[in-house]
């Protein structure tokens, strides 16, 4: 004997071992392109901010002075003394670079050019400001050191770069003079020439062109950053979106097969179409809508070898998800397969099916159940163009009636001449009515609008009606149009 498991058990099993492919790169691209506006908005916003920055930023000019720095040492040979350049020391130029940017050198520049104030705090701020525009680096593997300074004026940049070079050479001369004071007169004159020696290779000249980064580069980079931010935001929103977008998501929550995706059927509550117009399904063979309806019919109703009447209740997660139109089209599809079908409006709160087919003023289901009319055949409306029989809801009184009591068993006994009876039911927000209907209806079909209800909300609604969940034959994902960008990419449709 085969073990039968409750849909909740299936749900738990699928939650424990989710499909790892749900969040693969195809999902990422689909999610991003569904929110392409967010990527475009991010790129345009950042590019606009970059345009404003480029337009308002102050001009900057960079001037550079180049020094040749050598390290001479005094060598002796017999009675002769001579100068030689010391062997290369990788730390020597690094030390000189740090010396060029040291506080004594910077303070000397500020004092000479009168850039700092007498106050100590102002002096520190001036040193910090000058260092922010100063760049000192070795040129390649040579003994050349470049002093670059960026300022808002060409002359100011050249003056500071040259003054830094001069202040450094003055400090080296002062340090050397101080070091040889204790030596003898003969040696003192020779030691003055030893140690680090700097010479200006090229003085800084006022630059002609601005050194600001090119505006078009900044704008392009800002646009790329904005687009990347929009892409990340789109993925975050897609990850947080727990509503149903694909059939496998719906099947994993309901524990029943999702028969397919229907692109944007007309909502019965907002349409003035009549039943003959609904027969357009006959002219749409091969479409996703047609295939989903056919799969639902042949899956729910194994007609061959089944003599008794089959009943199906069509419900939805929330009002307005298109279940009424789906119920009508399912009934029409069964008629086209050669079956006798009765479509019943069992919506006690919003009898949209009767309104859709302009039968709101006629007697119907509720009149039969409350005993005002005992001849069921007299209440059924036959539509000759389609061959579909319809039982309107009828004329309810001031109080909302409960159809699933009283003579409902008599009604089911009176419809045995039909192969299929399709009931248009209230949505899951009427759990009392649906629980009562489960006593009489053999199978249920759930219609869910894409992107509207979350998986948690649907699970909670189904959990409140276990008798309906147990009889859930399958579901249809409604108003789920395929992404136009993927119509030419079959790999993305999986």
pLDDT (mean) for 461-471: 93
- pLDDT of 329 above 70: yes
Higher pLDDT, 246 or 199: 199
Write down the pLDDT at residue 159: 94
Give the model's pLDDT for residue 188: 53
> CB–CB of 161/175 below 8 Å?
no
Of 447, 485, 63, which is closest to residue 260 (Cα–Cα)?
447
Whether residue 235 has pLDDT greater than 90: no
In which band, very low, low, confident or very high, does the pLDDT at 109 lie, cut at 50, 70 and 90? very high
Sorting pLDDT into bands at 50, 70 and 90, what band is 494? very low
Q: 195 forms bridges with which residues in the sheet?
A: 72
Domains of the chain: 61-202 (3.30.70.1130), 242-493 (3.40.50.300)
Question: Could you tell me which residue, 352 or 73, shows the higher pLDDT?
Answer: 352
pLDDT at 282 over 60: no
Residue 353 clears pLDDT 70, i.e. is over it: yes
| Residue 33: closest CA among 249, 222, 238, 250 | 238
For the stretch 399-449, pLDDT in tens is: 667 788 767 888 888 888 899 999 999 999 999 999 999 999 999 999 999
Q: Which residues is 154 bridged to in the sheet?
A: none
Split at pLDDT 50, 70, 90, the class of 483 is low
For 211-227, write each residue's pLDDT tens digit. 888 889 999 999 999 99
Helix boundaries (H) for 370-407: 376-379
Q: Is 319 exposed, middle or buried (0-12, 13-18, 19+ CB in 10 A)?
A: middle
The single residue listed with the structure tokens 């194994």 is 302
Query: What pLDDT does 270 receive?
Result: 42
Q: What is the mean pLDDT of residues 25-30?
A: 78
Sign of the dihedral through C-alpha 370, 434, 426, 284 = negative
CB-based contacts of 130-135 (< 8 A; 24+ apart in sequence):
130/106, 130/160, 131/101, 131/106, 133/157, 133/160, 134/101, 134/106, 134/160, 134/164
Nearest to 485, CA basis, from 43, 36, 25:
36
Cα(367)–Cα(107) distance, integer angstroms? 102
Mean pLDDT over 238-256 rounds to 84
Mean pLDDT of 181-189: 55
pLDDT value of residue 132: 92
Q: How confident is the model at residue 493 (pLDDT cuts 50, 70, 90)?
A: very low
> Which of 130-144, 317-331, 394-408 is least confident?
394-408
Mean pLDDT, residues 36-56 taken together:
93
Structure tokens at 107: 């303070």
Q: Which two tokens stand for residue 12?
A: 């738990």
User: What SS3 state is found at 146?
Assistant: strand
**Angstrom distance (rounded) from CA 285 to CA 280:** 10
Q: What is the pLDDT of residue 153?
A: 93
pLDDT band for 479, please (50, 70, 90 cuts).
confident
Give the model's pLDDT for residue 65. Answer: 95
Q: Are 312 and 475 in contact, with CB atoms under 8 Å apart?
A: no
**pLDDT beyond 50 at 371:** yes
Indicate the average pLDDT of the chain: 80
Residue 97: pLDDT band (50, 70, 90) is very high
pTM over cut 0.75? no
Q: Cβ(346)–Cβ(437) under 8 Å?
A: yes
Question: Mean pLDDT lowest for which of 34-48, 174-188, 339-353?
Answer: 174-188
Confidence of residue 166 (pLDDT cuts 50, 70, 90): very high
Tokens 């409960």 belong to 402
């Amino acid at each position: 004997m085969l073990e039968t498991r409750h849909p909740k058990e299936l749900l738990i099993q699928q939650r424990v071992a989710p499909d790892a492919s749900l969040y693969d790169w195809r999902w990422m691209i689909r999610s991003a392109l569904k929110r392409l506006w967010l990527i475009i908005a991010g790129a345009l916003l950042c590019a606009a901010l970059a345009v404003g920055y480029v337009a308002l930023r102050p001009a900057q000019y960079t001037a550079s002075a180049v020094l040749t720095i050598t390290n001479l040492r005094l060598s002796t040979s017999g009675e002769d003394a001579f100068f030689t350049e010391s062997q290369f020391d990788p730390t020597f130029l690094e030390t000189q670079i740090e010396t060029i940017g040291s506080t004594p050198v910077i303070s000397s520049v500020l004092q000479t050019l009168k850039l700092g104030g007498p106050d100590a705090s102002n002096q520190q701020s001036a040193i910090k400001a000058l260092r922010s525009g100063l760049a000192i680096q070795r040129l390649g593997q040579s003994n050349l050191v470049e002093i670059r300074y960026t300022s808002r004026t060409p002359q100011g940049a050249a003056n500071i770069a040259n003054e830094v070079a001069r202040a450094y050479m003055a400090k080296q001369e002062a340090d050397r003079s101080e070091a040889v004071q204790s030596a003898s007169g003969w040696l003192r004159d020779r030691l003055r020439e030893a140690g680090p020696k700097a010479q200006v290779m090229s003085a800084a000249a006022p630059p002609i062109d601005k050194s600001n980064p090119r505006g078009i580069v900044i704008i392009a980079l800002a646009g790329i950053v904005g687009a990347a931010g929009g892409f990340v935001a789109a993925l975050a929103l897609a990850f947080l979106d727990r509503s149903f977008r694909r059939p496998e998501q719906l099947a994993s929550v309901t524990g029943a097969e999702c028969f397919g995706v229907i692109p944007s059927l007309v909502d019965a509550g907002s349409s003035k179409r009549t039943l003959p117009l609904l027969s357009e399904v006959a002219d749409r063979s091969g479409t996703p809508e047609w295939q989903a309806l056919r799969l639902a019919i042949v899956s729910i109703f194994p007609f061959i070898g089944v003599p008794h009447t089959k009943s199906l209740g069509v419900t939805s997660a929330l009002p307005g998800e298109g279940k009424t139109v789906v119920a009508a089209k399912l009934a029409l599809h069964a008629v086209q397969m050669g079956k006798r079908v009765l479509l019943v409006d069992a919506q006690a709160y919003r009898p949209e099916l009767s309104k859709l087919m302009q039968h709101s003023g006629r007697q119907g289901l509720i009149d039969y159940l409350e005993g005002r009319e005992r001849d069921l055949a007299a209440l059924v409306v036959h539509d000759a163009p389609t061959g579909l029989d319809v039982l309107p809801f009828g004329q309810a009184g001031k109080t909302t009636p409960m159809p699933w009591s009283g003579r409902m068993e008599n009604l089911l006994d009176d419809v045995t001449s039909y192969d299929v009876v399709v009931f248009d039911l209230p949505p899951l927000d009427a759990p009392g009515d649906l629980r009562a209907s489960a006593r009489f209806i053999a199978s249920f079909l759930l219609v869910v609008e894409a992107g509207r209800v979350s998986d948690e909300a649907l699970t909670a609604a189904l959990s409140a009606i276990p008798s309906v969940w147990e009889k859930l034959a399958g579901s249809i994902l409604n108003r789920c149009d395929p992404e136009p960008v993927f119509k030419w990419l079959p790999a993305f449709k999986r």
